[in-house]
Amino acid sequence: MKSGSRLERTFAEGKFAVTAEIFPPRTPSVRLLHKRAEQVRDYLTAANLTDNQSATVRIASMAASRIVLDAGVEPVMQITCRDRNRMAIQADVIGAAALGIKNILCVTGDHQKFGDHPAARNVYDLDSMNLIQMLKTMRDDGRFHNGDAIRNRSASPVVPPEIFIGAAANPFGSPRHFRPYRLAKKIAAGADFVQTQPVYDLVVFREWLQKAGDLGLIEKVHIMAGITPVKSVDALCYMRDHVPGMHIPEATIRRMTGAADPEREGFEMALEMICAVKDLCGVRGIHLMAIGWEKVVPLLIEAANIVPEPVAVHRGDRPDAEIAGKD
């Protein structure tokens, strides 16, 4: 086991994993996060805590991760390359490991132009590929990015962070034929699992998976298909026109436009998509991103009959050297 996280164990046992995004609030409210955690606790393998999602300031992913962990939900802490350099990120990784956070998802991050602080200066010291590589080096070699061992003094033991490393993938981005190779690079860099952009176009998604299979990738990484339920045609059009990297076919828009009860239709469409992707060869789980419609998450999971089997959540207290005072 690389991390022993519930997510990793789920894959290791050959079970189907279900994750969903929890969007940290903008206010310092533990109560709100507890409430969200409670809604999904019995339905998820783990929950992603986004990192200033859509380039908008929110409770830090690390803090939110620990708060939901305390509420019994295993966190996937997200890290973007936009706001922090390699020093800050490594400090966060060590800090997260100390807090018992075992899954980290590495993403490039939306440009601040799309968020609430367009006047900010971005960082992008690393790209998502470099970030994955750095985390793998920290975990597998017990070394920081500069090559130094992760320990306090030269004689003290090396204590690598035990983390399960995630990456994002966009099968629908262009140039499309390069996308499977980009997945290959992320795996070579060290990704253990991958969460995709929301799937609305099954044909393109299948082609991407097929190519990933041909390249021998689906044995090397756990792919989770992204699903975003929406309750109005406006939401679909907004995503199509304003969310970078989103691909929504005309047929989807048409179906929603013609719906008598768009909320019902949105639910059905998401459900159909889950059922369609969950049995595809290479799909090991579902990742739900129900922006603005969080309460649909448990309903969808139940309807799709993919409620994860209960696994005891391990509180992250580390039984290792620093606690025993060895370093």
Spatial contact of 138 and 160, defined as CB atoms under 8 Å apart: yes
**Please, which residue, 64 or 131, has the CB nearer to other proteins?**
131
Kindly state whether residue 216 participates in binding other proteins, applying the rule CB under 8 A: no
Kindly state whether residue 170 participates in binding other proteins, applying the rule CB under 8 A: yes
* CA distances to 18, 205, 311 from 304, in Å: 11, 19, 20
Kindly state whether residue 265 participates in binding other proteins, applying the rule CB under 8 A: no
List the one residue from 15, 117, 185, 206 that touches other proteins (CB under 8 A).
185
Kindly state whether residue 87 participates in binding other proteins, applying the rule CB under 8 A: no
Instruction: List Cβ neighbours of 100 (8 Å cut-off, separation of 6 or more).
Output: 66, 69, 314, 315, 316, 317, 318
How far is residue 37 CA from its own chain's centroid?
16
Tokens of 227: 């699903």
**Please, which residue, 65 or 197, has the CB nearer to other proteins?**
197
Q: Report how far residue 39's alpha carbon sits from residue 179's, in angstroms, rounded to the nearest whole number.
A: 35
Tokens of 143: 């070394």
Q: How far is the CB of 211 from other proteins (least distance, A)?
A: 14
List the one residue from 145, 211, 222, 231 that touches other proteins (CB under 8 A).
145
Kindly state whether residue 113 participates in binding other proteins, applying the rule CB under 8 A: yes
**Please, which residue, 21 or 265, has the CB nearer to other proteins?**
21
Binding footprint of other proteins, residue count (CB under 8 A): 35
Instruction: List Cβ neighbours of 119 (8 Å cut-off, separation of 6 or more).
Output: none
Kindly state whether residue 184 participates in binding other proteins, applying the rule CB under 8 A: yes
Spatial contact of 96 and 161, defined as CB atoms under 8 Å apart: yes
Angle value at C-alpha 219, between 215 and 221, nearest 5 degrees: 95
Q: Report how far residue 99's alpha carbon sits from residue 145's, in angstroms, rounded to the nearest whole number.
A: 21
**Please, which residue, 19 or 170, has the CB nearer to other proteins?**
170
Draw the binding track, 284-323, toward other proteins (x: CB under 8 A; -: no contact). Answer: ----------------------------------------
**Please, which residue, 94 or 188, has the CB nearer to other proteins?**
188
List the one residue from 111, 254, 295, 326 that touches other proteins (CB under 8 A).
111
Spatial contact of 139 and 162, defined as CB atoms under 8 Å apart: yes
Residues 189-208 that bind other proteins (CB under 8 A): 189, 197
Q: How far is the CB of 238 from other proteins (least distance, A)?
A: 15
List the one residue from 1, 29, 178, 272 that touches other proteins (CB under 8 A).
178
Kindly state whether residue 81 participates in binding other proteins, applying the rule CB under 8 A: yes
List the one residue from 158, 181, 264, 281 that touches other proteins (CB under 8 A).
181
**Please, which residue, 168 or 212, has the CB nearer to other proteins?**
168
284 conformational bin, left if phi > 0, alpha if psi -120 to 50, beta if neither: alpha
Instruction: List Cβ neighbours of 123 (8 Å cut-off, separation of 6 or more).
Output: 81, 82, 83, 84, 85
**Please, which residue, 184 or 237, has the CB nearer to other proteins?**
184
List the one residue from 39, 54, 108, 232 that touches other proteins (CB under 8 A).
108
User: E strands along the chain, which residues?
Assistant: 17-22, 46-49, 75-80, 103-107, 164-169, 193-198, 222-227, 283-288
Residues engaged in binding other proteins (CB under 8 A) = 81-82, 86, 108-111, 113, 122, 124-130, 133-134, 145, 168-170, 173-175, 178, 181-182, 184-185, 188-189, 197, 244-245
